A and B are shown apart, each in its own frame.
Chain A
Amino acid sequence: MTALLSLQGVSKRYGAVKANSGIDLVVDPGSIHAILGENGAGKSTLMKLIYGVESPDAGSILWKGQPVTLASPADARRLGIGMVFQHFSLFETLSVVQNIALIVPGRQADLARRIRALGAEFGLEVDPEAMVHALSVGERQRVEIIRCLLLEPELLILDEPTSVLPPQSVARLFDTLRALQARGMAILFISHKLEEIKELCDTATILRGGQVTGRVTPRDHSAKDLATLMIGRAMPPPLPATPQAQGEVRLELSGLDYINDDPFGVSLRDVSLRLHSGEIVGIAGISGNGQQELAALISGEVMRPGDAIRMMGRAVGGLDAAHRRRLGFAFVPEERLGRGAVPDMSLADNALLTAHSAGLVQRGFIRRGPERAYTAAIIAAYDVRTPGPEAEAAALSGGNLQKFIMGREMMLAPKLLLASQPTWGVDIGAATDIRQRLVAMRNEGAAILVISEELEELFQICDRLHVLHKGHLSPSLQTAATSVEQVGSYMIGAGA
């Protein structure tokens, strides 16, 4: 049997970073093939090469045994390759059918009919006339998949498709993918979630540091074996859960309503929660359900006067971010470059960004000595791999920059810490380190609110959980007393 797609010695580098080196990959027709690897292993780059977004520096790509040059995604689509992107390639100001008409030929009225038909057949229902900005993340994924299917591909690539789905919907997506496989379509499934790959995939190619470290049949291996191939050692052990005595209320949201000015954003309805010193509370939910808005309201980046938000016993709705920080609040945002750090500034200046209150400024003058010393202390204490305080933030890897920002905020010894998606795009080693530090901080009496998409992470570190869905917050759930299924049902708005 000729392989549908095979890659031979494919390499790609960006500047000094070797994203892929000497990758060999064989995908058989009609198979579901996993690409497994942690963040930064080179999975996304590999997919971009296969889909023609980027061109390889070396190596060859064969389609049905014939060498091909993929100069653009249009070339890839012509061969019969479709791709569903992790951060979707949809346009919010266009309607569903307009988004699809961008790459699928045909009149829009005909396309709309075909979208409905295909949706009904594969469980991917979506309104063709809806504007994309009005769709939920899950619906957007359906649009992406439909857009590929309309071109009748022989190979469908999905990049981390389950990261935007609640647990129940994952099963539904898998049904869809199996139905497609039954039609003879091959699927390339990119993920870092071991259990999903064991459940769905026929074969797996494992990447680490831009190289292939294994080709296995996932059903025949334990999750532990797969993890070892993926990260080069055994998975770190789970954290010990030590319940803490709770102290005073550090953050209180009572009936917080927020009407978003931004027509593309989410409004919050009647959000209430209490966070005490000595506990970690998690906000679960798929991104795009109001997480950004909630974080901005708590951090003071968006101000709404009133007493719906109280910190350390004070109403802070009308205070800006700097004022709230003075009360003992610190914040690690989900976007590192451009929000948590200024890309073109040195780490020293990035320390000054929020740690200026730690004696780095005197009478309005910046004190360069203490600024440097403070930065060096963060770098040392939080194991940030960098040439030094003069390095620019943009030059750091995602994981290192996250450790730096986390360190900067934690070294201020805040009474209340908000961490939004603390381990997004971070490799497993760094993620484990970050989680341990959050727990250690809780043990010292800080109040910590964690907003995360990763259920596993929240179950690992949180004392209590809430679920955010369409701007509405679920009641508080004791982590020890709840289950993934219960949280999952809140994630789709089904309630308890």
Chain B
Amino acid sequence: MNAVDFILAGMLAAATPMLLAALGEMVVERSGVLNLGLEGMMALGAALGFITTYTYDSHALGFLVAAVGGAALALVFALIVLGFVANQVAAGLAIGILGTGLSSLFGKSFESLTISGLPKLALPLLSDIPVLGALFVQDVVVWLTLLLALAIWAVMNHSKLGLIIRAVGENPHAARAIGFRVLRVRCAAIAFGGALAGIAGAYASTVYTPLWADGMIAGRGWIALALVVFGTWATGRVVFGAFLFGALSLGELTTQAAGVNIPSQLLACVPYIVTILMLAVISSNRRRMRLNTIASLGQPFEK
């Protein structure tokens, strides 16, 4: 298998955990809340998903439990930042630390155990295209994630629900004045984001690399946060960014396969370095940032 085939076959699956988490976070941020606890919610989802799938031999159940776990942790966050009007940055860090800790705690006795992943489904016709065909042989979660991205795009841009979320994110006081329940909208968005982060973690631990290792999320929650900025809060660009990172994260394996001799630890830095550079390129266009930034992002809302 050459490097191009390898990347085409693998990038969507590699992108999926980051994409799921980033899509959820995008909705949360559009409602005006910054949840930095993505890494923790993913880690918790990964542990719960793995444990459930291992114990009951059901991926579906694993995803369900991970989603519930992620959402539950997100609701703790919601309680702190919406109910108690706390600093969102600090609360996000607290949730990140708590989630990562819970993940290690729960996963302790499952260390290094393995399960089977999910079978790949080939899209008829498309998968027969030469070279590009490899792109169309993926597991069901990848396909569902892409459908979800489409659904989120449609809701955010073409539905009243999307308008309400955007209105709440831009100007919560005005939204309240015309009768929308800002805290309820935000709470629902946070729970949705948490559920997706949980599923994202479970995908990483039960499908992408179906074995439990402590700390397996390895910064992907943070990259997902950066992807939301990279995508300037627009679904299409977030999807594009996730694919780019999916491909990048395979670069390490690819160069090794190609026999290039660069220490693996330094190659492992590449996604992080690219994240920093990418943030710089996107953020330095202040006009564009201002046009897309969520006006009330990170600011507590009090009546």
Q: Which residues of B contact A262 (CB under 8 A)?
A: 287, 290
Nearest A residue to B174, CB-CB = A89
Say whether A92 contacts B287, CB under 8 Å: no
Q: A91-B170, A262-B290, A264-B290 are in contact. Are A101 and B163 (CB under 8 A)?
A: yes
Q: Which residues of B contact A93 (CB under 8 A)?
A: 166, 170, 291, 295
Interchain CA distance A328-B290 in the complex, whole Å: 34
Q: Which residues of B contact A92 (CB under 8 A)?
A: 170-171, 295
A56 CB to nearest chain B CB (Å) = 15
In the complex, which residues 147-172 of chain B have their Cβ closer than 8 Å to any Cβ of chain A?
Answer: 160, 163-164, 166-167, 170-171
Q: A89-B174, A93-B166 are in contact. Are A74 and B160 (CB under 8 A)?
A: no
Task: For A263, give its contact among B170, B174, B176, B291 (CB under 8 Å).
Answer: B291
Q: A91-B166, A93-B166, A94-B166 are in contact. Are A103 and B179 (CB under 8 A)?
A: yes
Interchain CA distance A477-B266 in the complex, whole Å: 69
Verify if A327 is at the interface (C-beta below 8 Å from B).
no
In the complex, which residues 72-105 of chain A have their Cβ closer than 8 Å to any Cβ of chain B?
Answer: 72-74, 76-77, 85, 88-94, 98, 101-103
Say whether B179 contacts A263, CB under 8 Å: no
Verify if B178 is at the interface (C-beta below 8 Å from A).
yes
B300 CB to nearest chain A CB (Å) = 13
Interchain CA distance A74-B174 in the complex, whole Å: 14
A109 CB to nearest chain B CB (Å) = 13
Nearest A residue to B180, CB-CB = A102
Q: A88-B174, A102-B178 are in contact. Are A94 and B290 (CB under 8 A)?
A: no
A interface residues, tally (CB under 8 Å)? 24
Say whether A53 contacts B176, CB under 8 Å: yes
Q: A94-B166, A102-B164 are in contact. Are A89 and B177 (CB under 8 A)?
A: yes
Verify if A110 is at the interface (C-beta below 8 Å from B).
no
Interchain CA distance A405-B176 in the complex, whole Å: 31
Q: Which residues of A contact B167 (CB under 8 A)?
A: 91, 94, 102
Interchain CA distance A92-B166 in the complex, whole Å: 10
Find the residue from B163, B179, B180 having the highest chain A CB count within 10 A: B179
In the complex, which residues 105-163 of chain B have their Cβ closer than 8 Å to any Cβ of chain A?
Answer: 160, 163
The number of A-B residue pairs with CB atoms under 8 Å apart is 59
Interchain CA distance A119-B163 in the complex, whole Å: 23
Say whether B179 contacts A91, CB under 8 Å: no
Nearest B residue to A132, CB-CB = B170
Nearest A residue to B181, CB-CB = A72
Q: Which residues of A contact B163 (CB under 8 A)?
A: 94, 98, 101-102
Q: A98-B163, A263-B290 are in contact. Are A53 and B177 (CB under 8 A)?
A: yes
Verify if A52 is at the interface (C-beta below 8 Å from B).
yes
Dominant secondary structure of chain B at its interface with chain A: helix
Q: A72-B179, A74-B179, A85-B177 are in contact. Are A261 and B287 (CB under 8 A)?
A: yes
Q: A89-B174, A90-B174, A91-B174 are in contact. Are A77 and B179 (CB under 8 A)?
A: yes
In the complex, which residues 91-131 of chain A have their Cβ closer than 8 Å to any Cβ of chain B?
Answer: 91-94, 98, 101-103
B236 CB to nearest chain A CB (Å) = 17
In the complex, which residues 275-303 of chain B have their Cβ closer than 8 Å to any Cβ of chain A?
Answer: 286-287, 290-291, 295
Q: Which residues of B contact A85 (CB under 8 A)?
A: 174, 177
Say whether B290 contacts A89, CB under 8 Å: no
Nearest B residue to A88, CB-CB = B174
Say whether B170 contacts A101, CB under 8 Å: no
Task: For A89, give its contact among B166, B178, B291 (CB under 8 Å).
Answer: B178
Nearest A residue to B164, CB-CB = A102
Interchain CA distance A85-B163 in the complex, whole Å: 20
Q: Which residues of A contact B286 (CB under 8 A)?
A: 261
Say whether B287 contacts A263, CB under 8 Å: yes
Nearest A residue to B167, CB-CB = A91
Task: For A73, give its contact among B160, B171, B179, B287 (CB under 8 Å).
Answer: B179
Find the residue from A73, A85, A93, A98 having the highest chain B CB count within 10 A: A93
Nearest A residue to B171, CB-CB = A91
Interchain CA distance A101-B164 in the complex, whole Å: 10
Q: Which residues of A contact B290 (CB under 8 A)?
A: 261-264
Q: Which residues of A contact B171 (CB under 8 A)?
A: 89, 91-92
B158 CB to nearest chain A CB (Å) = 9
Q: Which residues of B contact A74 (CB under 8 A)?
A: 179
Interchain CA distance A361-B178 in the complex, whole Å: 48
Nearest A residue to B179, CB-CB = A73
Interchain CA distance A171-B81 in the complex, whole Å: 47
Q: Which residues of A contact B176 (CB under 8 A)?
A: 53
Q: Which residues of A contact B179 (CB under 8 A)?
A: 52-53, 72-74, 76-77, 103
Say whether A103 contacts B178, CB under 8 Å: yes
Say whether B178 contacts A73, CB under 8 Å: yes
Find the residue from B164, B178, B291, B295 having the highest chain A CB count within 10 A: B178
In the complex, which residues 40-65 of chain A have their Cβ closer than 8 Å to any Cβ of chain B?
Answer: 48, 52-53
Q: Which residues of B contact A102 (CB under 8 A)?
A: 160, 163-164, 167, 178, 180
A108 CB to nearest chain B CB (Å) = 9
In the complex, which residues 179-214 of chain B have their Cβ closer than 8 Å to any Cβ of chain A?
Answer: 179-181
Interchain CA distance A89-B167 in the complex, whole Å: 10
Contact with B along A20-56 (1 / 0, CB 8 A): 0000000000000000000000000000100011000
Interchain CA distance A376-B179 in the complex, whole Å: 44
Interchain CA distance A98-B162 in the complex, whole Å: 11
Nearest B residue to A108, CB-CB = B158
Q: Which residues of B contact A76 (CB under 8 A)?
A: 179
Q: Given A53-B177, A76-B179, list of 8 further CB < 8 A pairs?
A: A74-B179, A77-B179, A89-B174, A89-B175, A91-B170, A94-B167, A101-B160, A102-B178
24 contacts between A and B (CB under 8 A): A53-B176, A53-B177, A53-B179, A72-B181, A76-B179, A77-B179, A89-B171, A89-B178, A90-B174, A91-B167, A92-B170, A92-B171, A93-B170, A94-B163, A94-B166, A101-B163, A102-B163, A102-B178, A103-B178, A261-B286, A261-B287, A262-B287, A263-B290, A263-B291
Q: Which 8 A-B pairs have the closest CB atoms?
A: A73-B179, A89-B174, A74-B179, A89-B177, A72-B179, A89-B178, A91-B167, A91-B170
